[in-house]
Structure 1
Amino acid sequence: MAEKNALLEAFRQTDYRIAGNGKRTIRVLKEAFRNIEDDTESDIYGKGKIIEEFQNKIATYLGKETAVFFPSGTMAQQIALRIWCDEKGSKKVAYHPLCHLEIHEQEGLKELHHIEAILLGDKERLIELEDIYELDETISCLLLELPQREIGGQLPPYETLEAISAYCRKQGIKLHLDGARLFEILPYYQKSAAEICQLFDSVYVSFYKGIDGIAGAILAGPKAFTEQSKVWKRRHGGDLISLYPYIVSSDYYFEQRIGKMGQYYEGAKALAQLFNQCHGVSTRPVEPVSNMFHVHFSLPKEKVEAVLIEVYQATNIGLTSYLVETDENHCYYEVSIGDLYSNFSREALVELFQLLDEKMKAQA
């Protein structure tokens, strides 16, 4: 067991990290509340100035009529699909084979809502317009995840999104956006959030991904849709007496980081370039389209762990605390760029990756 945790322990011993915005300690919450007055009133069961102002603010940012704050995206998205299924009168939806609802939610959509999922396209690539044309099932809703996390955070051309949106509207299919990382893709598309969201009937965004708040999500769309979502939120047990710790942190870090998404994106591209210059290392995609991507190693997991531990001990810099084995000769991990990346000079990063390159060659 200790051997399995060696990489994690070595990572914890480093003083500097390449990815993210810093450790998720209580400091994150304390900083968000630093300028909040003691007599600021709490929200109560989804009502009150603090929640309503934030919902209106994000609805405007997304270009949607209304929005509802949820404690989790898992809850928000299952509810969104349930509403569209009820409206259409069909309990079938379609999404990518590696969609979060399919692989990370213990079949919640099926068990809680009795909705059948049609897996669209191939798991190794993005959903394409032809996949939707070839659907031989009548579906109520199509869910698109932007970016597609499990295949490295890939994105379709914007013209493809427009074509899919137009087709769905013509066919009477509701189009829902899993926009957990919506903010992070704006620099790549060179579009506003509202421009992207106008292609979709409903939208979910997360406040603990690139924004890095405590937790929480927004579900946005037409007023009739969001009013129904409030009912389902209560049914799911998500209508907590107070959500203000999540709302305050979401609002604070939204303001702190929404303007840095371009910086994170440029950092991800520069970092991926350094990885791709190392022996036996490649990124997916080769050039990132957001602040996140996957790093693939063409060596057995145990050999890569040994390499990374040596690099950490020599540089005091941590790259990742884990590796995922894909087969006996390959493994990978996911990286997301945030505030920490800007602490490193180009020279320091070049030295780090020269060492990584040397160690990978020695293990080959």
Structure 2
Amino acid sequence: MVKTLLEAFNKAEYPVVGHGKRHVQVLKNTFDHLDGEIDSDIYGTGKVIEDFQTKMAAYLGKPSAVFFPSGTMAQQIALRLWCDEKGSKKVAYHPLCHLEIHEQDGLKELHHIEPVLLADKDRLITLEDVRNMKEDIACLLLELPQREIGGQLPAYEELEAIAAHCRAKGIKLHLDGARLYEILPYYGKTAAEVCSLFDSVYVSFYKGIGGIAGAILAGEEAFTSQSKIWKRRHGGDLISLYPYILNADLAFDERLPKMEQYYQAAVELAGMYNNGIEGITTRPVTPVSNMFHVHAAMPKEKLEQILIALYEETGIGLTGNIRDAGEGTSYYEVSLGDRYAAIPKDRLRQAFELLHEKVKQTLI
């Protein structure tokens, strides 16, 4: 008997979100087609890591790139470098930035950097927010898309205006591009075009790309050379990182061409959520990437009961995790990948019809 939402989701015949299970087979698939005599990287050097770094630098339109085991490490180091260069210990970012809410105050405790929180937590940072800053900061971090508010994006013209303002004021601009690949179809831009607005860029390999782990930090040569020193100080120079690098390279080549497909799937799925199901809405209403949030006007526990029953009756798994949003409401994140294309559309429509009925009965 299923007891939790996650158990029900894992047993669903057609889970909707993600690329697939994160299991050992992912790594086995990476090595199946490779020559076993390929030399590993050693403490950040060697052909396997250097070739991949060169490839990613070219893709991002930057002179140089460094592979890191985690984005947390890469971004803290990026902000530290910009603070050291300017002689300021202040950086600005959104109140729901990853560094602020998911890293146990690493930026403050390890680097003694003081964040300046811009905008309200429920909206994007605007040019006006940046212009009205009273603090003298070394760097502004922008996350594209802003995950914690449903993956919202500023208009590209707004982004260009913020970048121009930062250049004029001598403020470095850093991109939290953990989901950079996923926003390119909406913007209609290349990665290099978007990254040209930023002084430094971080991208992830385990989110939309679906790799095991790892990140790239890119920028000018002087910047990345210094980042390597800090990478060593942080313990990020493992004797070898090749399992992550080779897997990231494979996943990058396989999934980058599918980003438009994932984006259009999110638009389609959000339309089903917004098709008259009382108390259920998506944020944003029309997604701007492969992700969005689903908000429900009911407590987490009640929504979990509805979804568990739905999964058992239809075999369609919508999510494995729901969060409490306060005041009797709840929400969950949707991020689409390879799994979505395999779902029979008639089964999916039937699941949403049943969801509509179950929610309606609950709200009576």
Q: TM-score under structure 2 normalisation?
A: 0.98
1:207 corresponding residue in structure 2: 205
Matched, 1:255 2:253: yes
**Mean alpha-carbon deviation: is it higher for 328-337 or for 83-92?**
328-337
Give the secondary-structure state (helix, strand or coil) at the position aligned to 1:240. coil
Q: Which amino acid aligns with 2:133?
A: L
Corresponding residue number in structure 1 for 2:294: 295
Q: Distance in 1 between matches of 2:281 and 2:28?
A: 38
- The CA deviation at 1:346 is 2.6
**How far apart are 1:352 and its partner, in Å?**
1.0
Partner-residue secondary structure (3-state), 1:283: strand
Instruction: Give the percent of matched residue pairs that are identical in Structure 1 and Structure 2.
Output: 65
Q: Confirm whether residue 350 of structure 1 aligns to residue 349 of structure 2.
A: yes
Query: Unpaired runs of 5+ in structure 2?
Result: none
Matches of 1:210 and 1:11, distance apart in 2? 20
How many residues get paired?
362
* Amino acid in the other structure paired with 2:27: L
Structure 2 counterpart of 1:122, which letter? D
Moved over 3 A (4+): none
Shift of 1:345: 3.1
Which letter maps to 2:265?
G
Partner of 2:335: 336
Q: Deviations over 1:36-94 (max 9, x none)?
A: 11100000000000000000000000000000000000000000000000000101000
The superposition leaves residues 143-194 of structure 1 with CA deviations (integer Å, 9 ceiling, x where unpaired) of 0000000000000000001000000001000000000000000000000000
One of 45, 48, 56 as aligned partner of 1:47: 45
1:151 equivalenced with 2:127 (yes/no)? no
Aligned-partner SS, 2:115: strand
Residues 65 and 218 in structure 2, CA contact (< 8 A), matched pair in contact too:
yes
Give 3-state SS (helix, strand or coil) of 2:324's partner: strand
Give the deviation of 1:349 after TM superposition: 1.6
- In structure 2, distance between residues paired with 1:203 and 1:17: 32
State the AA in 2 paired with 1:340.
R
Given residue 186 of structure 2, which amino acid in structure 1 is its aligned partner? Y
Which residue is 1:23 aligned to? 21
- Please tell me whether the aligned partners of residues 301 and 328 of structure 1 are also in contact (alpha carbons under 8 angstroms): no
| Residue 272 of structure 1, aligned match among 270, 273, 289 | 270
Over residues 231-286 of structure 1, what are the superposed CA-to-partner deviations in whole Å (9 max), with x where a residue is unaligned?
00000000110000000000000000000000000000000000111222110000
Measured after TM superposition, the shift of residue 203 of structure 1 is 0.0
SS state at 1:33 partner? helix
SS of the residue 2:32 aligns to: coil
Task: Tell me, in whole angstroms, the C-alpha distance in 2 between the residues paired with 1:12 and 1:207.
Answer: 23
CA apart distance, 1:328: 4.1
Letter matched to residue 65 of structure 1: P
**CA drift at 1:229:** 0.2
* CA deviation profile, 1:197-223 (whole Å, cap 9, x unmatched): 000000000000000100000000000
CA contact (8 A) 2:65 2:216 kept: yes
Indicate if the aligned counterparts of 1:94 and 1:142 stay in contact, CA closer than 8 A. yes
Partner Cα separation in structure 1 for residue 307 and residue 131 of structure 2: 45
Q: Write the mapping of 1:218-237 to structure 2, written as runs, cut at 5 A.
A: 218-237=216-235
Q: Which residue, out of 4, 7, 10, partners 1:9? A: 7
Residue identity in the other structure for 1:55: Q
Instruction: Answer yes or no: is the 8 Å Cα contact 1:73–1:206 preserved in 2.
Output: yes
Q: Deviations over 1:89-121 (max 9, x none)?
A: 101000000000000000000000000000011
Structure 1: which 5+ residue stretches go unaligned?
none
**How does the TM-score come out when normalised to structure 1?**
0.98
1:118-157 paired onto structure 2 within 5 Å: 118-157=116-155
**Preserved CA contact (<8 Å) 1:165 1:199:** yes
SS at match of 2:40: coil
Q: Secondary structure at the match of 1:237?
A: coil
Give, in whole Å, the separation in 2 of the partners of 1:328 and 1:160: 33
User: 1:239 matched to which residue of 2?
Assistant: 237
Match of 1:58 in 2: 56
User: What's the offset of the Cα at 1:301?
Assistant: 1.5
